[in-house]
Amino acid sequence: MWSVSRSVVAGVALSLALSGAGAGVQAAEPVAPAAAGFDPVADGAAVVQQANWDAMQAVEVRMSEYKYEPAALVFKSGQPYKLVLRNVGKEPHYFTAPAFFKAVASRKVQSRDAEIKAYYFNAFEVLPGGSLEFFFVPVTKGDFALCCTMKGHKENGMVGTIKVE
């Protein structure tokens, strides 16, 4: 099930948590991306619509105490992807990469029993035993930082890198 801890409708930031029990969604008031200080990919909806989703590539990241496996991700600009985030640890973990999320056109995030469509995501929180799938197309090339923002996790080495070629 989904529990959205922070969200802004019409394409700004969402922080998602998955759990096996209960569901709740709390949404903030809608805010235009520019007004909120975000600069997501221009024409992201058109990028998603024009992508060849039959050629989508799947990439899985396993999260545990205190690491991402793999910790270095590489994506190709223009290629559609499904990023599967799986928490195999005993604590909740965040997949936080704000600059990366601004460099991609987002299609949706889903779990086995929920789906959220938004233009922009900021971070994903996956609870122990949970997983989610993020569907996106990288647009802007560059190197991006990844970390878990749970207290003490980044400091204990839960960091990574994302490269868009």
d(CA 140, CA 103): 5
pLDDT at 36: 47
- For residue 160, the tally of other CB atoms under 10 A from its CB is 21
Q: Which of 10, 67, 1 is nearest to 35 (CA)?
A: 10
pLDDT of 110-144, one tens digit each?
998 899 998 889 899 999 999 999 999 999 999 99
Q: pTM for this structure?
A: 0.79
Task: Catalogue all structural domains in the chain, each as residue range(s) with its CATH number.
Answer: 2-28+41-164 (2.60.40.420)
